[in-house]
């Protein structure tokens, strides 16, 4: 069974669903859970534009700190070992998927849990998919947790 699990969190509904699933799995397996929030910088960064993007970067890092703090509180409430942390490697130029892989390596996890929006077609092309990119480079088993549709029809009649 898995003893060290990593889950990527980002403050979204999808990320929260993945975090909840990872906590349930960690609790059932008596595993440690490591939640990582990767600060994802705008892809259109141009160093020579003359604009000071520091406030944007500070806001992104601050949001990550807030989300990681909340995740640590939830881990403690559930009695799950591990911790949440912010991964902020802007200067490395690595993608979010690569930064998750680096965290998985550094933490020696044996499973990675990611939420997925399940986008396809044009939306996937334009918005990309961290989950898809990660699955392509992962050296570990990956559990993808799909976003639950809030507007799905109820089965109760």
- Ranges of each domain in the chain: 4-146
pLDDT band at 122; cut points 50, 70, 90: very low
On average, the pLDDT of the chain sits at: 84
pLDDT, mean of residues 121-133 = 61
User: How far apart (Å, rounded) are the C-alpha atoms in residues 153 and 18?
Assistant: 22
**Higher pLDDT residue, 113 or 45?**
113
**Higher pLDDT residue, 155 or 113?**
113
CB crowding 9-24: b at 16 or more within 10 Å, else e: bbbeebbbbbbebbbe
Q: Which residues contact 84 (CB under 8 A, 6 or more apart)?
A: 9, 34, 35, 36, 37, 67, 68, 69, 71, 72, 75
Token pair 């070992």 is at which residue? 81
User: How far apart (Å, rounded) are the C-alpha atoms in residues 47 and 133?
Assistant: 25
Question: What's the pTM?
Answer: 0.84
Is it the case that residue 79 has pLDDT exceeding 80? yes
| Helix (H) / strand (E) containing 135 | helix 130-137
Q: For the domain 4-146, what is the CATH superfamily, name and number?
A: HUPs (3.40.50.620)
Is it the case that residue 120 has pLDDT exceeding 60? no
């Amino acid at each position: 069974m898995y003893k060290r699990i990593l889950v990527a969190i980002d403050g979204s509904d999808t990320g929260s669903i993945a975090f909840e699933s990872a906590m349930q799995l960690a609790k059932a397996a008596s595993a440690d859970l490591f939640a990582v929030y990767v600060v994802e910088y705008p892809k259109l960064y141009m160093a020579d534009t003359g604009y000071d993007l520091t406030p944007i970067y500070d806001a992104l890092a601050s949001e990550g700190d807030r989300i990681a703090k909340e995740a640590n509180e939830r881990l403690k409430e559930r009695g799950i070992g591990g911790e949440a942390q912010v991964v902020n490697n802007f200067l490395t130029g690595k993608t979010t998927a690569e930064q998750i892989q680096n965290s998985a390596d550094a933490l020696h996890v044996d499973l990675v849990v990611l939420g997925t929006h399940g986008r396809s077609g044009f939306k996937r092309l334009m918005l990309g998919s961290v989950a898809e990119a990660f699955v392509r480079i992962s050296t570990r088993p990956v559990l993808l947790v799909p976003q639950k549709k809030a507007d799905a029809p109820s089965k109760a009649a």
